[in-house]
Structure 1
Amino acid sequence: MAVHGRGAQSARVPTRFGLATREPDGDWLDAKQDVDGPGPKLRTTVIEEHPRSILTFNRSPDIPFDRSVNAYRGCEHGCVYCYARPTHAYHDLSPGIDFETKLFAKPDAARLLRETLAKPGYTPAPIAMGTNTDPYQPIENRYRITRQVLELCLELRHPVTITTKSARVLDDIDLLTELARHRLTAVGISVTSLDPRLSGLLEPRASSPAKRLDALGKLVEAGVPTHVSVAPVIPSITDEFMEGILEAAAQRGVRSASWIMLRLPHEVAPLFREWLDTHFPDRAGKVMGIVQSVRDGKDNDAQFFTRMKPQGVWADLIRTRFRVACRKHGIGRADVDLDCSQFRKPSPNGQLDLF
């Protein structure tokens, strides 16, 4: 039975760590539902987290940024394919239902970032937001942590990039417009399909495809460098929408695009298989067959460079389709050069340095 309004279909996901798992008896479960009816509706809870630092550095050679800020842990969007799901297992929480219902917010993010940027040895480079969980997931309406970080970046003239699946990014279009005026920001919005029903199954609490496309258009109109990401491409599920997404984005003035093949690291693979069996049992075998064919016979490839470059006939076909559609609609690669020279280091007491 499908879990409505959520991407994951259960919390019973094998983990690499100490998370206990339970297998309910099928007869008992059926009897319980007959007597008690369906269980209570899943609720989202948020715990405020107070880390000692907020800026995370990485040395991955195949991604275009070396630092990031993640305002939230877990994501209510519930995208079943999200590669960040395994991070919840570090806390003995399920990468399944827990990842999208038991969230963590970091309300001190802007203060911690200011302290880091004030350190004598700090050298500015674009900060990426949305690289792990979405900075504009629904709880941003309450906490406004992403907005606080953008306000700080504008104050200090520090470059920052946004990646999101949410039209809520328009809540901060005033800040993004001003940041763009100083060549300090770029925004990427990923669009997976053009079918709202399918998106409701894949990413149940993210903005609808139409709203995301409208957000792209409004950002372009505001002068914000804007990028559309057709990601992830799920063979035999979402790949049919690739050309339509690129055409719709181009009609709204977007001139930069990319695509990423579905990745299934660690606990994401059994979650996705369960999702396929629930919603697309007729083609589950075909989907996983293609996924494995582009990953050297495995569910996932974790190696640098090759993880982002699937191989084989199916990968070549999608790559060719993407290039042809981009050429047809005048779309190229992202080439935004953000300006780090304007950075104004804050003093340790929170004020800007005068000299």
Structure 2
Amino acid sequence: MKPEKIKGQGAVSNVHNHFIKNRYETSIYQDDYEEEIAKTEIIEVFPKTIVNPVKSPDLSMAYSMNPYQGCEHGCAYCFARPTHEYWGYSAGVDFERKILVKKNAPELLEQFFKKRGYKPESILLSGNTDCYQPVERKLQITRRILQTFLDYRHPVNILTKNALVTRDLDILTQLAEKNLVTVSLSIPTINEELRRALEPRTSSVNTKLQAIETLSKNGIPVNIMVAPIIPGLNSMEILPTLKTISEKGADSFGYTLVRLNDTVEPIFIEWLEEHYPDRKEKVLHQIASMHGGKLGEKQVFKRRTGEGNIAEMIHTTFRIGRQKYFSKDKDEVFRLATDLFDGTKGEQMRLF
């Protein structure tokens, strides 16, 4: 008899880490859960730097930073899962349960700002795993990072799936007054049932929509990432989603098409078998049709946009939605001030 599904877990198993010689597998049905919620192990690490230059030509940001590695949100499709293998863990359950935290991130950011000759460009917080995942509620590393951005008058773009971002309204509003912040909230679906299966520990759909309203009413520019689009799962929601987020106050949106690179592929296939077995073959076939017959795509520019009839239908639908529901240009929303930065500002602020 198959056990009941476990709440709060995206991956079904620990897929093999190809960097490790010995293979091990862990089922989500082992007896290491408390009240049907996956336990999270917090592991402190001590990096020497925190800001990463972004060199990919199809990405617009110059820098990114990640206070956490691994992510409790448990999104089955997450492109960042394979990065956990570099730390010796699995991209499956380990990615969601073993979270590496960088408590010295604010101090490292300050060191970066003090580099001789540094010229400010907006930094993405974060580009890999979510800076507002559940553990942030307790550790508040992201909050301290935002305070550092405010102290130094440095621009920051925030990307998150969690309405916890509204906790920091006091800092965000001060940054927004100086045109130093945007918040991109990820909303791939407005179907709560799909949301619970697809990204089990993110904020609920209603809470995310409330977050858009809260941020917008407080003068904070809001961009929505309707991503990733997965044909056969959320591709039919595009126009209703754009209409809804526009009505809630979003200024702009972006989107990408799903790609299942490396170990994300077996994780997502297992997830489909668990949650949508009747749609599995159709969904996988349509994903492959967007990437030249493969489920993954690493080629820059193509990896986010795909190709073929299904991809083109998705792009056309988004173009219609943009014309219908949005007036602002996305680049306009993301154009932040860089002329307010002062490398000594942080030290001066601490004197008061």
TM-score of the superposed pair, with normalisation by structure 2: 0.92
SS at 1:93 equivalent? coil
Aligned to 1:351: 347
Go from structure 1 to structure 2 and tell me whether the alpha carbon gap of 1:156 and 1:38 turns closer, same or farther (over 3 Å shift): closer
2:16 partner amino acid: P
Instruction: Label 1:116 to 1:331 Cα distance change in 2 as closer, same or farther (>3 A).
Output: same
Q: Which amino acid aligns with 1:257?
A: F
Paired with 2:229 and 2:20, the residues of 1 have a C-alpha distance of: 32
Equivalent pairs, count: 339
Match of 2:128 among 125, 132, 139: 132
Within 2, Cα distance between the matches of 1:317 and 1:105?
A: 40
Aligned to 1:40: 32
Is the 8 Å Cα contact of residues 7 and 203 (structure 1) preserved in structure 2?
yes
| 1:9 paired residue among 6, 12, 15 | 12
Mapping for residues 39-58 of structure 1, pairs under 5 Å: 39-41=31-33, 42-58=38-54
Structure 2 spans left out of the alignment, 5+ residues: none
Q: 2-side partners of 1:81 and 1:329: how far apart? A: 28
The answer as to whether partners of 2:42 and 2:101 remain within 8 angstroms in 1 is: yes
Q: Which residue of 2 aligns with 1:101?
A: 97
Question: How many angstroms apart in 1 are the aligned matches of 2:253 and 2:294?
Answer: 27
Cα shift readout 1:281-338 (whole Å, capped 9, x = no counterpart):
1111111111111101111110111112211100111111111122221355412210
Q: Is residue 120–residue 341 contact of structure 2 (8 Å, CA) maintained in 1?
A: yes
Conserved in 1, the CA contact under 8 Å of 2:13 and 2:25?
no
CA drift at 1:346:
2.9
C-alpha displacement of 1:15: 3.1
Larger Rg: 1
Do 2:66 and 2:129's aligned partners in 1 also have CA atoms closer than 8 Å? Answer: yes
Counterpart residue type for residue 89 of structure 2? L
Does residue 318 of the first structure (1) align with residue 320 of the second (2)?
Answer: no
Q: Sort the Cα spacing of 1:223 and 1:107 in 2 relative to 1 into closer, same or farther, 3 A.
A: same
CA–CA distance in structure 1, aligned partners of residues 289 and 219 of structure 2:
41
Secondary structure of 2:243 counterpart: helix
Residue number in structure 2 paired with 1:341: 339
Q: Which amino acid aligns with 1:340?
A: T
CA apart distance, 1:147: 0.7
Inter-partner Cα distance in structure 1 for 2:276 and 2:329: 33
SS of the residue corresponding to residue 128 of structure 2 reads: coil
In the other structure, the counterpart of 2:302 is 306
User: Aligned-pair distance for 1:103?
Assistant: 0.4
Contact 2:44–2:101 (CA under 8 A) maintained in structure 1: yes
Query: Which amino acid in structure 2 is aligned with residue 338 of structure 1?
Result: L
Any stretches of 5+ residues in structure 1 without a counterpart?
30-36
Amino acid in structure 1 at the alignment position of 2:255:
W
Counterparts of 1:138-287 in structure 2, within 5 Å, are 138-287=134-283
1:19–1:89 contact (8 Å) kept in structure 2: no
With normalisation by structure 1, the TM-score equals 0.91
Deviation at 1:20, TM superposition (A): 2.9
Between the aligned partners of 1:98 and 1:296, the Cα distance in structure 2 is 31
SS in structure 1 of the partner of residue 255 of structure 2: strand
- Alignment partners' CA distance in 2, 1:332 and 1:234: 26
Q: 1:264·1:300 contact (CA, 8 Å) conserved in 2?
A: yes
Deviations 1:53-82 (A, max 9, x none): 111112111101121110101000011111
Distance 1:47 1:38 in 2: 22
- Kept in 2, the 8 Å contact 1:48–1:106? The answer is yes
Task: Give, as a single letter, the amino acid of the residue that structure 1 aligns with 2:32.
Answer: P
Q: Is the 8 A contact 2:257 2:306 kept in 1?
A: yes
SS at match of 1:128: strand
In 1, the alpha carbon distance for the partners of 2:194 and 2:260 equals 19
The alignment's C-alpha RMSD in Å is 1.8
**Partner Cα distance (1:40, 1:105) in 2:** 22
| SS of alignment partner, residue 260 of structure 1 | coil
AA aligned opposite 1:18: I
- CA offset at residue 114 of structure 1? 0.5
Q: What is the distance in 1 between the residues matched to 2:327 and 2:200?
A: 29
